[in-house]
Amino acid sequence: MTVKSRATEIPALVRRLGSRRESVVDGAKARLCAKGARAVEALVDALEADNPRIRAHAMPLLALIQDPRGRGPLTAMLLDRDPRIREIAARSLARYPSSVAVAALERCARKDKHAEVRVAAVHALLEQYAAGQERALAQALGLLLDAAEEPRVRLAAFALLPMLRPSARRSLLKKLSQDPVPAVAQKAREIDAEGVPQVSREVSAIRGLVVGLGSSDYAVWNDAVFRLAACGVPAVDPIVAEMEHRAHDPEFCTRAGMALKALGPRRARALASALDRVVEPLPLQVLVEVAGALGEKSLIYRLKDLIDRIVADARGAAEANGFDPMQRVRAKAHLELARVGSRVAVDDLRAILRDPGRRPDLEVLAAAERIGTRSEIPDLLRAHAREDRFTRERIAKALRAIMKREKIRRHNSMFRTLTEAQRRAMEAIFASPPRSRVPAAGGAARR
């Protein structure tokens, strides 16, 4: 692949987001997701595009990639003149769990002039709460209890009920059943009459819930996530099978991942066979993230086998233009192994850094930062010479972390054997002060 074609591929994929052909858009989405952090700058630039379809598709992609650079631009889009764009921005910001995002969504939920936008902000707050932002629930609860609030917004806030303890849920429904707004009171009475939803583990029932994950209605797919989690191990295979069937649908795969994470670590081993057999990049990437989120070490250590499989399959199997989406899966697997302090795949980590024809993913650099030793320093310096500014900052951060952990000073004798290019990289790194707020790869995805 020529340098020019590498430089223009991502912008070309972003332009395809404006196509009226669904298959073209879906293909571009899947490919941009696989590009990960490399696509972020182009997607952020696309938020200023004249074509509203490009803008509408770029925001959810930033949310799915979850690179920290996307949070600020998405927050700014909450002020766009187009209410449809603001609605998409709110839903997209849900995937950036942080106090900053919660504050922005709170303002949107209270002050936006369009009910549809405020409904989206309420749903986003609930996703923020599910991701660990405790404050987000209080705001959604306040909207639900506010009799002066727009009924559509209050009805949307009913989606918080599955997140409450049974006693709190019963007490809230009792209060809302006497609400002065008829639609709210009726909704509360209907839910109270239904009682705790019965979860069927029948195959047909589970398949119906899996299909529900693809709904455009937040309440439907959110309810499916909780019900599938309650189904336990029997839900794993149907979820994974549908992920494979919808392998070019990033949003569905992300929701499926939420359901699998909700199963909890005790059921993590049921995912082991999926890691061994799934071959589609996007579903496999989600499974790697689920394995890391569950924290079951026996499952995480199986990622070494996945890395070996990807490396073996990649020999001669990359696409004609040199892009292999499985390489981001490989990078994410390295990061999850590094999170538990494992160096079982360090030889492959070094191979990635040494490969002159490949730019290391940010997850690879984050892994090196966590588990790297003095042995990886020359390889990081070699990679520094062929990278852009943002990635060089990540390399510098990793190198400084290793030197601090290994107690290596800048004038250590090991640096005498560096090549001229590596010495220049060292000089460039230490010529500028460290950036204290460079975000860690995958940090926003951690739930």
Arithmetic mean of pLDDT over the chain: 88
Whether residue 413 is predicted with pLDDT greater than 90 in this model: the reply is no
pLDDT for res 407: 92
- The predicted model gives 181-189 an average pLDDT of 95
User: In this structure, are 132 and 206 located in the same domain?
Assistant: no
Within-domain flag for 235: yes
pLDDT for res 324: 81
Whether residue 199 is predicted with pLDDT greater than 70 in this model: the reply is no
Write out pLDDT tens, residues 267-286: 878 899 999 999 999 999 99
How much is the CA Rg of the chain, to the nearest whole Å? 23
Residues 6 or more apart in contact with residue 22 via CB below 8 angstroms: none
Q: 162 near 192, Cβ under 8 Å?
A: no
pLDDT for res 166: 87
Out of 254-263, 264-273, 318-327, the most confident range is 254-263
Within-domain flag for 379: no
pLDDT for res 442: 44
User: In this structure, are 134 and 212 located in the same domain?
Assistant: no
User: In this structure, are 30 and 109 located in the same domain?
Assistant: yes
pLDDT band with cut points at 50, 70 and 90 for residue 315: low
User: In this structure, are 222 and 134 located in the same domain?
Assistant: no
pLDDT for res 444: 39
% the chain with pLDDT above 90: 63
Whether residue 445 is predicted with pLDDT greater than 50 in this model: the reply is no
CATH code of the domain in which 80 resides: 1.25.10.10
Last residue of a domain, one of 253, 276, 299: 276
Per-residue H/E/C for the chain: CCHHHHHHHHHHHHHHCCCCCHHHHHHHHHHHHHHHHHHHHHHHHHCCCCCHHHHHHHHHHHHHHCCHHHHHHHHHHHHCCCHHHHHHHHHHHCCCCCHHHHHHHHHHHHHCCCHHHHHHHHHHHHHHHHCCCCHHHHHHHHHHHCCCCCHHHHHHHHHHHHHCCHHHHHHHHHHHCCCCCHHHHHHHHHHHHHCCCCCCCCHHHHHHHHHHCCCCCHHHHHHHHHHHHHHCHHHHHHHHHHHHHCCCCHHHHHHHHHHHHCCCHHHHHHHHHHHHHCCCHHHHHHHHHHHHHHCCHHHHCCHHHHHHHHHHHHCCCCCCCCCCCHHHHHHHHHHHHHHCCCCCCHHHHHHHHHCCCCCCCHHHHHHHHHHCCHHHHHHHHHHHCCCCHHHHHHHHHHHHHHHHHHCCCCCCHHHHHCCHHHHHHHHHHHHCCCCCCCCCCCHHHCC
CA 89, 290, 284, 350: dihedral to nearest 10 degrees?
Answer: 100
Whether residue 176 is predicted with pLDDT greater than 90 in this model: the reply is yes
User: Which range has the worst mean pLDDT, 14-28, 192-206, 242-256, 277-291?
Assistant: 192-206
User: In this structure, are 232 and 121 located in the same domain?
Assistant: no
Within-domain flag for 428: no
pLDDT for res 337: 97
Whether residue 256 is predicted with pLDDT greater than 50 in this model: the reply is yes
Within-domain flag for 342: no
Chain centroid to CA 354: how far? 27
User: In this structure, are 113 and 220 located in the same domain?
Assistant: no
C-alpha span between 444 and 261 (Å, rounded): 15
pLDDT for res 9: 85
% the chain with pLDDT above 70: 91
Out of 33-47, 111-125, 303-317, the most confident range is 111-125
User: Which range has the worst mean pLDDT, 11-25, 287-301, 426-440?
Assistant: 426-440
Write out pLDDT tens, residues 56-87: 999 999 998 988 899 999 999 999 999 999 99
Within-domain flag for 386: no
- The predicted model gives 128-149 an average pLDDT of 91
Whether residue 106 is predicted with pLDDT greater than 90 in this model: the reply is yes
In the chain, the number of structural domains is: 2
User: In this structure, are 92 and 208 located in the same domain?
Assistant: no
- The predicted model gives 189-208 an average pLDDT of 79
pLDDT for res 8: 78
- The predicted model gives 89-105 an average pLDDT of 95
Whether residue 438 is predicted with pLDDT greater than 50 in this model: the reply is no
Last residue of a domain, one of 276, 308, 332: 276
Q: Quick one: which of 41, 48, 100 has its CA closest to 65?
A: 41
Q: Which domain covers residue 90, as residue numbers? A: 3-138
pLDDT for res 446: 37
pLDDT for res 145: 94
Amino acid at 8: T
Last residue of a domain, one of 224, 243, 276: 276
pLDDT for res 162: 84
pLDDT for res 171: 94
CB atoms inside a 10 Å sphere around CB 411: 7
Within-domain flag for 175: no
Within-domain flag for 188: no
Write out pLDDT tens, residues 353-412: 998 888 888 899 999 999 999 999 999 999 998 888 888 999 999 999 999 999 988 788
Within-domain flag for 260: yes
First CA to last CA across the chain, in angstroms?
37
